[in-house]
Structure 1
């Protein structure tokens, strides 16, 4: 009798073991406290947080073809179902899917790189640009008191709140999951005026080679594309910038919505992008922070040799080797900045009226002219109204110890590719400024102090090289035939998240009464492709704000006309004629944390089978 029972039980166990195992993994975007399950046929199977907001489970069944995810209450009763009908496959089993979002397979291609030589590495094997075809999901569980103080009071009186909140952070992509202790803080100044704040995050562990990232809210961008597109244009022109992709952000039960996730401007980024080694010994950087519109400006004029004079809000000491310079040694901290202003002052006094090649040779001894002119050309095309050429802001001056010269690094492009935006620094009318690709930023009537760029551009060789760079970028990068496919691919990537992202800000439960951009899905769509029926160009040119694709059409046409007769056959760097070897991509394993989790579930299932057999044999 026992043998017969054993045979029946063993047959049942073997049948169970032979049943197909189906693996499910889904990220909740329904907020803290949500619970997800999978529904196939009339069967609902709850899933387990692993960790929240990722839910996982394995189902033993003969065959599951169609399924979808459901939201459950505490009693595992269905309270909501996603509208997507999914088809099970081995490929899906290895993905972290997202509730009510289709699995994306969008090819976001790079823009053309027309400059043959690489001045900078722009990445390392361990510190690569974020994959542009991925939306990450970031969930942070933070100290409630610290979190509440930060998001409800981003300003402390007239000063910014620089406090941090300690957190446990999970970052989930379709193919991986990352967990680390860390912290978050509010970043930016103008962005703090919005209810949807921008954040910086730091990690104890490395995330894709990084110990920190920035999450930019895009709170005043109804295209949700401008900042990442601007970064891509700079990158295509060979100018180092913080690149990024998208992320859905959830903190302490609040759904903040869709963000751009970009690199933090720090020593590891400088090492990787500029020196080709994320652990490289770096120089020292200063952020230019002019006060608009009446000043003072970070005009790069020589003041005096006292470091404390430069220690003001117009120059912000940023990244440097902390072990080499004492924290309270202002003279050592600002010595490179003082040296730069002195060198440029001497150059202006000696060569200000000298239009020979000698003047250029002397300037390039301490300044990376080529990188700066590319920066200025891109700023012209994207009409960056809160960056270097126009506003002398949102740019870093970096002393590069490897080359013993200085270079400028741009960042934060939330006021670009829209038009004049009624900027008080642009004195021309909107139509004239949109057509001007040389003096749009440096009008003598502007309240900004353009001492540095005025002296730079007064030399014919420099202006000639600027024209060539502008012509190359206009013809081979900043052209609708290249930009439109790139923009459309980003729109395809985030399309299902747009309306959700715009609506989330109205549902934020924080008490801070910041600005809220009232944007709609139609606003987004018009930025991607505007209606040209009965289009009146002259009328639109007088508008201070344009939709994204419209701006690109008008600005690229204007700068193409300005450079129509520019000969680009001699496209040689005016300085820093380096050719840094590009990092070769090595084949990467497809295995990740997700597939490891799938493997673990398979092992547990087999362990259960063998355990039952052993119990029957006892």
Structure 2
């Protein structure tokens, strides 16, 4: 009996020793560590195990150490002394760690999926890509050309394009690319301390299949969630468009903050979205609707071109990608777009479904316009005749596909009219819902009007699902939001007051804005005086913004009440 007890105890001791001595590889992502070292503290043992710079990139420190029984923390060391340590303990693991970002307590967050309300458009043949992974936040490290970075930020209206190097670090993936192009992007964010950027990785370079990527500043939205939710719904509605995810961004070891990541809707996006990524493709033209792009008849093609030297004006329409066959590009041509505008101006409007479908994918139009109403889009086709693309799909004899984009002024945030104006029980009462707009004339066809109403009804009936997704996304980004809001952004030199005033006057006059709303919008963006918690869960009574959940609840209640009264 004593022998059996001894064997049991001895076996337990051996098993415990094996657990303690089991080594794993630790990897931590850090920045600005030129004069410091990294270590990992295991089970609160005071002496850290030292980590060394990874062979892949200087932004990762890695090393072998025992697996923890209770937990572990990363620590920063200078001259053999610990000067900073994570304030939380990470859960123990017997496997090699992922590339864990220093100071972030969780690597992968469970995010409830939003349902697929409608099947994807028949024209969509999208590649499988990991560029957007729910529940994860990768990091973009951009570096080099410090003089160019200063120049790019010294005059935000000059459209300066510079070369930098990029290292992308995900949880289990690292990619470095030299000599990428980057420039400031967007319009309204150029007057704020945190700009948006466009990245072109260069011919032959791709990140998860994409060459051109947008980093969205999120500065207009104190909840950091509106654009993400809107793009979730683009996918749920089965529409063509970019995905959306989050990333941390550093330039030359300076923190730039939390950004939204989107694909830029230029090639190879077209073949990735409509041809499974294959270049063996006869591609149509991709047009952008930029400014007052109502799709009324175009009488002066020359007026579509932007004037050299304009700092804030945009062309009405642009050709973003010309048609091509197997990579051979054709000359720029607005003729297809002109033909569409002439069709939309016909009187009486054609009532034949087949006639419409010959010109434009009806599902893409009805779903996109219904989505604008559902999310209260202040800056889309209905409200501003902007922020959309039209792709001529040569697989369907040039049939146009409507593609929504840049949906940041949604869910009760805007800059043109009082945000509560977008809360309407009847879609006909949505601000600027002008049935004489060429594309809205589609609702003169009874079958299309019926479908439009059904689209809105189905989306509103599923609104409760969005709340759990909001809570999970907020939990995922909250540590990075705190970090983002703590950054001193002294690298952007904003335009002089005369340039700003000139630009603001142009915006208010040409975009038909309420000056009170626009002033409130600028004030909250420049002064960042709405907390993350309030922006999501609070009741906000301001001209340009409501609480995120506050607006969703009020809007859904108004639509559901209207349905009961019908």
Measured against the shorter chain, the TM-score band is 0.7 to 0.9
Q: Could you tell me how far 1:225 is from its partner in structure 2?
A: 0.6
Measure the CA separation in 1 of the matches of 2:335 and 2:438.
19
Counterpart for residue 376 of structure 2? 383
Q: Which residue of 2 aligns with 1:572?
A: none
Residue matched to 1:57: 63
Per the TM alignment, residue 474 of structure 1 is displaced from its structure 2 partner at its CA by: 1.5
Q: Give distance in 2, aligned partners of 1:64 and 1:554.
A: 49
Instruction: Work out whether residues 152 and 184 of structure 2, in 8 Å CA contact, stay in contact via their aligned partners in 1.
Output: yes
Query: Does the aligned pair in 2 maintain the 1:235–1:241 contact within 8 Å?
Result: yes
Q: Secondary structure at the match of 2:206?
A: strand
Higher relative contact order (CA 8 A, sep 6+): 1
- The aligned counterpart of 1:607 is none
Using structure 2 for the length normalisation, give the TM-score.
0.81
Quick check: which has more Rg, 1 or 2? 1
In structure 2, the residue matched to 1:437 is: 427
Which segment drifts farther, 238-247 or 430-439? 430-439
In 2, Cα distance between equivalents of 1:511 and 1:188: 15
Q: What RMSD, in angstroms, separates the aligned Cα atoms of the two structures?
A: 2.9
Q: 1:86 aligns with which of 83, 90, 98?
A: 90
Pair 1:461-2:447 in alignment: yes
For 1:147 and 1:240, how far apart are their aligned partners in 2?
34
**Could you say which residue in structure 1 is the equivalent of 2:467?**
484
Checking the alignment, whether the CA contact within 8 Å between 2:290 and 2:316 is kept in structure 1 is: yes
Per the alignment, in what secondary structure is the counterpart of residue 247 of structure 1? strand
Q: How many angstroms does 1:193 deviate by? A: 1.4
Report the Cα offset of residue 176 of structure 1.
1.5
**Which residue of the other structure, out of 142, 153, 167, is the alignment partner of 2:164?**
167
Residue 293 of structure 2 aligns with which residue?
298
How far does the alpha carbon of each residue in 1:410-453 deviate from its partner, in whole angstroms, 9 at most, with x for none? 1111211125x4625x8xx9458544422313356xxxx95313
Quote how far apart the aligned CAs of 1:247 are. 0.5
* Aligned counterpart, 1:25: 27
Question: Do 1:118 and 1:238's aligned partners in 2 also have CA atoms closer than 8 Å?
Answer: yes
Indicate the residue corresponding to 1:451 in structure 2. Answer: 437
Distance 2:329 2:168 in 1: 35
- Is 1:402 aligned with 2:395? yes
Instruction: Assess if the C-alpha contact under 8 Å between 1:307 and 1:335 holds in 2.
Output: no
Look up the match of 2:72. 67
* Inter-partner Cα distance in structure 2 for 1:324 and 1:435: 50
- In the TM superposition, residue 190 of structure 1 has moved relative to its aligned partner by 1.4
The answer to whether the 8 A contact 1:121-1:272 is kept is no
Helix, strand or coil at the partner of 1:213: strand
Change over 3 Å in CA distance of 1:80–1:141 after alignment to 2: same
> Does the 8 Å CA contact 2:390/2:402 hold for their aligned counterparts?
yes
Alpha-carbon distance between aligned partners in 1 of 2:361 and 2:67, rounded to the nearest angstrom? 66
Pair 422,99 (structure 1): closer, same or farther in 2 beyond 3 Å: closer
Q: 1:129 to 1:89 in 2, by over 3 A?
A: closer
Q: Is the 8 A contact 1:431 1:541 kept in 2?
A: no
Higher mean displacement: 113-122 or 237-246: 113-122
The aligned counterpart of 2:319 is: 317
Structure 1 CA distance for aligned equivalents of residues 199 and 223 of structure 2: 24
Q: What does the per-residue CA deviation read over 1:170-215, in whole Å, with 9 as the maximum and x for residues that have no partner?
A: 1111222111122222111112111111112222532212222211
1:411 aligns with 2:405: yes
Instruction: Give the 3-state SS of the residue equivalent to 2:223 in structure 1.
Output: coil
- 2:94 pairs with 1:104: no
Distance 2:422 2:210 in 1: 44
CA–CA distance in 2 between the matches of 1:23 and 1:169? Answer: 25
Q: Distance in 2 between matches of 1:547 and 1:122?
A: 37
Gaps of 5+ in 1: 1-17, 291-296, 532-539, 567-618
What's the offset of the Cα at 1:169?
A: 0.8
Pairing 1:526-545 to 2, within 5 Å after superposition:
526-530=534-538, 544-545=544-545
Distance 1:58 1:276 in 2: 41
Query: For residues 337-367 of structure 1, what are the alpha-carbon distances to aligned partners after superposition, in whole Å with 9 as ceiling and x for unaligned?
Result: 222223333xx23x33x6xx43x33222111
2:256 maps to what in 1?
256
Aligned counterparts of 1:464 and 1:473: Cα–Cα separation in 2: 15
Q: Structure 1 residue 229 and structure 2 residue 229: aligned?
A: yes
Confirm or deny: 8 A CA contact 1:137 1:173 kept in the other structure: yes
2 CA distance for matches of 1:438 and 1:335?
32
Gaps of 5+ in 2: 1-19, 307-314, 496-521
Q: Which has the larger displacement, 543-552 or 406-415?
A: 543-552
**1:239 paired residue number:** 239
Q: What is residue 366 of structure 1 aligned with on the other side?
A: 359
Output the CA distance in 2 between the equivalents of 1:302 and 1:431. 30
Residue by residue over 1:502-553, the C-alpha shift from the partner in whole angstroms, topping out at 9 and shown as x without a partner, is 111xx12314137864447x7212333336xxxxxxxx78954211011110
TM-score (norm 1): 0.74
| Mapped partners of 1:45, 1:496: distance in 2 | 26
Secondary structure of residue in 2 paired with 1:512: coil
User: Partners in 2 of 1:307 and 1:325 — Cα distance?
Assistant: 21
* Residues 129-208 of structure 1 aligned to structure 2 (within 5 Å): 130-156=132-158, 161=159, 163-181=160-178, 182-204=180-202, 205-208=205-208
